Amino acid sequence: MFSQSSTQTSGGQAVSNPAGVAPGYAQEQGRWMKRIAPSKPAPADIALSAYIERVRGDYRIDPPTTGSLWIVNGRLTHLSTDLKARNLHDVISVVVSESLSASTDGTVKNSRASNMSSAISSLFGSLAVNNRLQNLFNQTSSSGLNAQGQSVSNSNLATTLGGEVVEVLPNGMLVIQAVRQVTFSQQTQTIRLRGVVRPEDVSALNQVPSTAITNLELEVAGKGIINDYTYRPNFIVRLFQRLLVF
């Protein structure tokens, strides 16, 4: 037997309760449903979704024309494909092996001496032997500089970066770019490489050494707690550091 009851609300409207369930139980069930509502996505998931959207925009391909039998991702497309990068947006591995050593040494020596005197030997006739006018001014000075400076700088970078072909020049040369960003222990390091490569210098493993890249631009930048304490801060920060000792 099916029973139906109604409950009077504060607005004067009757809400049906087909199963005859107590109103208090219905309210408690509504609160429980709110508790199990889906939570907000984690920041890592949001960052991954944004990265996928950005990459999809960078690597979007044109759809095939009407009536074309060619499919870019077809099963028989890559039967005898050469994996060496040669076209726009092809992926390439860059083997970076850069070593820079610079040394400067300088020595400066300088010396100078001067002697100057002034006296009056006669004034309206001969002066006495012990007259002070005969020795008015006597100045002797000497200066010397002996300085030596030395500067030594050594830097080494060995890594492998994954890049892509961003432009194919009319003569067939490939313009490549590789970017890597690593964040660890509150320190962010970004490596950015650009250069021009001959297709003949790309190995069978689709790798090119950095020594074979012309017009090479290599930038290594860091940001974080290490750089904050190894590089000189700006004027405002230095001012606050002097005012706030502790």
Q: Which helix (H) or strand (E) holds 221?
A: strand 214-224
- Per DSSP, the three-state class of 237 is helix
Write down the H helix ranges in 39-137.
Answer: 43-58
Mean pLDDT, residues 62-77 taken together: 65
User: Which pLDDT belongs to residue 124?
Assistant: 61
Q: List, for residues 87-144, the tens digit of each pLDDT value.
A: 888 999 999 988 877 787 888 888 888 777 766 666 565 666 666 656 666 667 777 7
- Residue 42 amino acid letter: A
Q: Which of 195, 189, 199, 223 is nearest to 96 (CA)?
A: 195
User: Which pLDDT belongs to residue 181?
Assistant: 87
User: Which pLDDT belongs to residue 67?
Assistant: 66
Q: How far is residue 201's CA from residue 211's CA, in Å, rounded to a whole number? A: 10
User: Which pLDDT belongs to residue 17?
Assistant: 52
Q: How far is residue 97's CA from residue 205's CA, in Å, rounded to a whole number? A: 17
Name the more confident of 83 and 198.
198
- Per DSSP, the three-state class of 68 is coil
Mean pLDDT, residues 204-222 taken together: 89
173, 212 in Cβ contact below 8 A?
no
Q: List, for residues 13-52, the tens digit of each pLDDT value.
A: 444 555 555 555 556 666 655 555 567 777 767 877 887 7
Q: List, for residues 161-212, the tens digit of each pLDDT value.
A: 999 998 888 888 899 999 998 887 778 888 999 999 999 999 989 999 999 9
User: Which pLDDT belongs to residue 10?
Assistant: 46
Q: How far is residue 194's CA from residue 182's CA, in Å, rounded to a whole number? A: 18
User: Which pLDDT belongs to residue 2?
Assistant: 44
User: Which pLDDT belongs to residue 28?
Assistant: 63
Q: How far is residue 104's CA from residue 102's CA, in Å, rounded to a whole number? A: 7
